[in-house]
Structure 1
């Protein structure tokens, strides 16, 4: 039986990964800032992190934050080396090397830290989760007019499907950078917004707004998409029906 530690194991993706790994017979430790007995802030590291990793064979790194991810990764990698961890699997984002968003640059930097760690490693990049797209649309729907970035599409993927793939990778041998995983369809943001409005029963005009900047140009060019790896099957409408009408 393999002992696997999942960072961010109570989060949107991590909790699904934990359930799948436990169902497959692995001994799973859940690490997050508020989850006992492994309540650890990765940005601080220390003896508590070393204790959490003692005897662990594989780490699945799902934890992420707008700030401090590189420091957290360094602490995690150092502790994993000391514990003799054999495999570190990391979830990343399609386009981190093509779209110059600050958060994407951080994810790419973490990828490179893992690749150079001396540990066995696997990196899976995916397109945006349905959950994130819904959060963005709900935010812009708070005002009378939904203002959306002109010319930008997305390819949302079902988080449960990503969890299946990540759990499968974590259960196997280190595989390096594996093929990207995208949702089933590339959709324009107005199309996604209208799907949200239709299922939620709300009414809002949808207006496209041209933006400026390198990150916007990168997204207009589709740098965050993986149309050649549209392996997800769950659609945005199916997700909305479950989330908004259940």
Structure 2
């Protein structure tokens, strides 16, 4: 029967990077709601109703719990399949016979008084099969750990951090780096935008679900105004050439 990480797995991971997220929440009440929501999802697959920063943090942590759970289910399935096969296939000797056939041939050559030795050989063969199964399990575990490390490296840029004077602006590292690069290219300051939005939210007593979109919009508008081409000033009419022409013009040919 296939394993389900919600009901069969007895544990789930809490990552050290999540400490910043918990610290960014407004109150201990929000932290408590978030923790209970994580247990509800990991144990029963429930998605509680949350709001504000707790909701954003739960969505990110839920994805990590689900990813770990799927990896655990795959590892259990591989172990089960390996157990059904009875470990690795038997090695063949030079004559083409398997180890089992070679042992049977040797046992038939012995007399009846040597039967206890055959029993011992069977026990040794069973131990060897169990050892092979353990080796396969260790390899599967190492593969699962490597797979998990690669996933963690791919999601490192998605860790949410808090910014602003009041720590109420939630941006991922990737979003922050992108906005900072855009500001630097046009000579603007990202920190001024973050401080402006942080102070406004604090004054109004509100939470912002998508600060990246708001700051990106402000940056686009300011960039257009700053890089707009100014119209050329109208040049005056220079008539100095006319003075030279009038003074040197020969009028005798008209008389």
Q: Provide TM-score, normalisation by structure 2.
A: 0.22
- Select the structure that is richer in strand: 1
Higher relative contact order (CA 8 A, sep 6+): 1
Structure whose residues are more often helix by fraction? 2
From the CA coordinates, give the structure whose radius of gyration is larger: 2
TM, length-normalised to structure 1: 0.22
